[in-house]
Structure 1
Amino acid sequence: MTSNASLLDHATPVALRSNQVQQFQELGYLVLPGFLPQDLVDQIKPEVDRWVDDGLRARSIDSVRNPEKFGVPPVMELELPVHGELITWSPLLGILDQLIGAPYVFHHLHSDRQAPDVPGKPWHHDYEHSTQDDLSATMIHALHYLEGLDAETSSLVVLPRSHRERADKAARAHLNTDSLAGEVVLEELPPGSTVVLHSALFHARRPRSDVSGKPRYFVDASYCEVGRLWPPVKPYWRYMLRRARELNLAPDRPELFAERNFSEYVRPA
């Protein structure tokens, strides 16, 4: 097994083709099959297992739902060494450089090992200014499927061009995961694949038709274009950014974990 340092040292920048950039701008998503190298996948999967099996994910959720009772979680995803590396992995940041075209700040990380019978997630988008009054600033979610997607996992469904709408996150939630005209179903991706979404793009997790199958290893990280104040989604967001700086995750990108890019945390209704 290679070390984290060797993964960083041997990371090769990826130059997107002009039609890939154009696809992202027009359709709101870009698929990068097998983007993550196998050695990185092999190292991050045990961290996901620990995150789920040791109750760290559940504790993290508790800290968001009831911060007064639970406070800051004992471990955050970015404090897991390979998770921290993935946030700032140079080929990924190189992709974001090309798609955003401006400085950007890290927003949050989410990691899970979803059971084969995990329910679907209804149509939604993740753009953090929920009314989308101003779409001039780009927010991106990088969805990493460590073991890919296939017939034994639930699928990712996207609605191309919906990132141009001005709609609430839950505007299509009443449709559950029903098929929509123009949707694209992503159900066959090799291990280590990454799907880059404009965060305003409507998407859904469509479940399998039965409960058999295999776990779906999933990590997503989001990043926001600098230039406006973004609402944080975690009450301990300042601590999260401070820990990223203390861990020296991106010494050459001071804006990536800068608190000045965020408004104050507002607890969801």
Structure 2
Amino acid sequence: MTTYNTAVMPEAHEYAGRSPFHLTEEQIQFFDDNGYLILRNWIPQDLLQRLQNAGEAWIQQGYASQEGQPLHKDYAFTQRPHGRVMFRVEYLHNKGQEASLELLGSPYVQAVAESLTGANFVPTYESMVFKEKQDGAAIRWHQDAVHPRSYRIFNYDLYLDRSTADGGALRVIPGSQKRRQDICDLTDRFGWEPENVITVEMEPGDVLLHDVMVVHGSPQVEGKNLRRTIYYEFRAAEEIIKEGPWDRTWIDRRLRLLPEAQRHFRQRYPQVEPFTWNVTPDFRPENLTSDKVELKVEHGTHTGGTFCSAGDAGKKEA
């Protein structure tokens, strides 16, 4: 088992007229070959601290929510041997913490999204997945979503807390993103030790980019420290039009989040060079005003993933 720990960071001078946070050709090639890429120390400390505080608030809000309340269904709970625990928060932007929009509107996110999915990148999902201090449950091997691979679809995973090999860090199988995998066969043959498996150790502020088809998971461990990760998924608008599962109206509603998020980032960090949104005219939303932005744009349907149990198909895990 290999632990991948190499720092990768683009140099500003490589991008005349572009954000220093666009990926290099070498980084994109590594992502295409392996299905993942690590960006070390990617998020500045001030924004990271705001997101850590937001993560704490979302967890508190989730435990305080009651059945029947409007946002209660956005918090996912499960039963562990030591009791009922929450493990996921969906639709982050309408939960009263502006940091999630600041992150989405930052060049640290949008330049990466443009690098991998093109000018018409669409923010399709936003969630926080976490394991509490005593929760060491496994996340089984899986592929998030299976698609024809005409376009890149990826998750931007921002780590709010340290994740180490002995604490149940994520494992990734490089190259497994290139086709649908038989997860049951893989599990039966190799357990948690397939050939070339990578253990992804991360520090707060590090970002993991992972292809939605790369096989990943984490084994059960004795509960260590709190581990929170923010996930933003991105797809090209052209891919959604061609392959679904959403329509052009849904794309328009989602794209409206981007300039609104940029506005939040500029207000909080006016000293940082903003990202230039290069969306093409055929996808640029009309009448871009804050009062027309929905902070929660629900999905209704999903692209199915691959898990060991056929009954799990279509669920999204992180």
Please give the TM-score of this superposition, normalised by the length of structure 2: 0.62
Q: Secondary structure at the match of 1:55?
A: helix
Structure 2 counterparts to residues 99-248 of structure 1, below 5 A:
99-116=116-133, 117-127=135-145, 130=146, 132=147, 134-150=148-164, 153-167=167-181, 178-187=192-201, 189-208=202-221, 210-211=222-223, 213-229=224-240, 230-231=244-245, 241=253, 245=257, 248=260
Change (3 A) 1:41 1:83: same
Q: 1:94 aligns with which of 101, 106, 111?
A: 111
Q: 2:92 aligns with which of 63, 77, 81?
A: 77
What corresponds to 2:59 in structure 1? 52
Could you say which structure has the larger radius of gyration? 2
Q: Which runs of 4+ in 1 moved over 6 A?
A: 56-59, 168-171, 173-177
CA contact (8 A) 1:139 1:223 kept: yes
Q: Give the superposition deviation at 1:247.
A: 8.4
What corresponds to 2:47 in structure 1? 40
Structure 1, 217-226 or 151-160: larger mean CA deviation: 151-160
Q: Aligned partners of 1:26, 1:165: CA distance in 2, in Å?
A: 13
**Aligned residue type for 1:119:** A
Q: Aligned partners of 1:105, 1:57: CA distance in 2, in Å?
A: 32
Q: Give the superposition deviation at 1:64.
A: 8.8
Q: Give the superposition deviation at 1:153.
A: 3.1
CA contact (8 A) 2:104 2:262 kept: no
What corresponds to 2:294 in structure 1? none
Q: Aligned partners of 2:285, 2:184: CA distance in 1, in Å?
A: 28
Q: Give the superposition deviation at 1:91.
A: 2.1
Please give the TM-score of this superposition, normalised by the length of structure 1: 0.72
Q: Give the superposition deviation at 1:16.
A: 3.0
Change (3 A) 1:34 1:175: farther
CA contact (8 A) 2:156 2:210 kept: yes
CA contact (8 A) 1:140 1:222 kept: yes
CA contact (8 A) 2:172 2:198 kept: yes
Q: Which runs of 5+ in 2 are unaligned?
A: 1-18, 77-89, 264-276, 287-296, 303-313
Change (3 A) 1:246 1:146: closer
CA contact (8 A) 1:28 1:201 kept: yes
Q: Secondary structure at the match of 1:228?
A: helix
What corresponds to 1:72 in structure 2? none
CA contact (8 A) 2:124 2:254 kept: no
What corresponds to 2:38 in structure 1? 31
CA contact (8 A) 2:21 2:107 kept: no
Q: Aligned partners of 2:75, 2:285: CA distance in 1, in Å?
A: 20
Q: Give the superposition deviation at 1:227.
A: 1.2
Q: Aligned partners of 1:27, 1:175: CA distance in 2, in Å?
A: 21
Q: Give the superposition deviation at 1:253.
A: 6.3
- How many residue pairs get aligned? The number is 235
C-alpha RMSD of matched pairs (Å): 3.9
**Aligned residue type for 2:93:** L
Q: Give the superposition deviation at 1:266.
A: 3.7
CA contact (8 A) 2:91 2:127 kept: no
Q: Give the superposition deviation at 1:241.
A: 4.1
Identity of aligned residues (%): 18
Change (3 A) 1:168 1:64: farther
String of CA shifts for 1:231-258, please: whole Å, max 9, x gaps.
36xxxx96x9479649822574665989
Q: Secondary structure at the match of 2:112?
A: helix
Q: Secondary structure at the match of 1:227?
A: helix
Q: Aligned partners of 2:22, 2:132: CA distance in 1, in Å?
A: 35
Q: Give the superposition deviation at 1:203.
A: 0.7
